[in-house]
Structure 1
């Protein structure tokens, strides 16, 4: 049954106000009026309503040093809405309970023994944690909660969302690690100006995630490591030949990128040649992805950060040879600011985006 228009409008405005404060931090009512393009009385009524429901509080801001009292700021109450976020890796799990406004309320990490099932471990690490949403990031190709392929975890066609729900008794959203990191960099890093943000993640296998205005897209999870860059080349574990993972020997670099870059920096010709060839392969694969998706910013995360910093010239050269000029003319290539925290933060922000959408 449809709600009366006035009620629907109020719901949307409540959600918009909470999302504004969640993303941008405490603000004055005047600033909220301008940001949301609502009148002062509407902002006042919404702020009062949300304060009564326990979602917001008003605090005194810092004085600017000029005459007059410090401004009164509207701020989130972190524990009023929480999201449980989990990052699944081959060797460990990371968990965070994140509150409204982005504050990390609880955090833990546990190692995974060889052969251990990460799904069962998630049930243990999250315990009886209550939250408005739960999101897990998984390295690999993810679609609608199912992991089609994960080189790092050795998963093929595994419905991770359904398995997590069965193990924990609650609904889960599942997003790939690269997409989660992209959401994190857009929401809490410095990539918020990018309309289309492409994040490349180096783990035990190479993945990429595309977000548009900070939101994960169906089809935005990309198996970067299984783009063929050398037809007829080395055999890959996936059964194809010449995949980027195989040509770069990505498993080896995942554990040895620091040793390789150090050796190259000390003049080791073999290490330099290996890194150069890896950079060229990455640039060629990147050309295919950019041609298909047309991003305006690319971030190199995981161990690809170190590879890019040491081989930016061959990456850019190979990329230029495989990409139309207009697609790269305004494209920014750089490294992320959140580092290893990006995927966990992004998983939480994916959950908050779903919460705000449900409130509308």
Structure 2
């Protein structure tokens, strides 16, 4: 690990304009410390924000919820309000990592995880995300876990967060503070980038910009389901995951929200599938049609070709179960 300066931050106002590209924020450290050990991340200064007053979960406006950036994954998943009203989020959090990691990992840090691509972590292999211009070793290499949507010839890595998939489906918004003190908000869906020609840029954050927290709007009606398909039942990243909220009335889709994980450089909001289902009969035939519409542009790279039919089957199964549960709960 390369030497670095360490600074403990007592208040957000202490974050100055020097918190730029050569500085990193440290909270739980469950991803950052590993990257520093491998010398993939080599910040000149670590800004320890773990003692900031940003670890609260508070009731928000109009039935929403405000989640501080330092709320742990365990704290968020076990909050009674989240379990009762946003079960999609609680399920996604509990599907991620181990209990020990969830006890340390934070809301903001979870959103900012780097990819788990083999080539990104192996500094002896080419990786455009780690070193732009080197090439993407995964394109013709071992790419079983890689993207089938939104990839480019520069990078086919995937975003690993389960929590982010649920937050995208829930239309959550992230609150940001720039190093100059100005603040802005944007949908979690817009936080992450597709790789394009600059795969080294995972997010739209500016240098020194800090996630202050996430705001959840009032939960939408319907059945909330998060399903994660992975190689083993624990401590494994998703090959494909689906977060869905389906509301069925009189046998037809009244409202639906869908997000995929494990298939793209960012949590993938399945808006084409949502549009195809809106107002249609909640039948397996229509679920299959919607999946085909969403995955029409999906592309495999050899080792991950199986992900396309897997994503289709997983989405259809989730929608089927959600529709059945909605019908059973209707008086």
What is the TM-score of this pair, normalised by structure 2? 0.27
Q: Quick check: which has more Rg, 1 or 2? A: 1
Structure having the larger proportion of residues in strand: 1
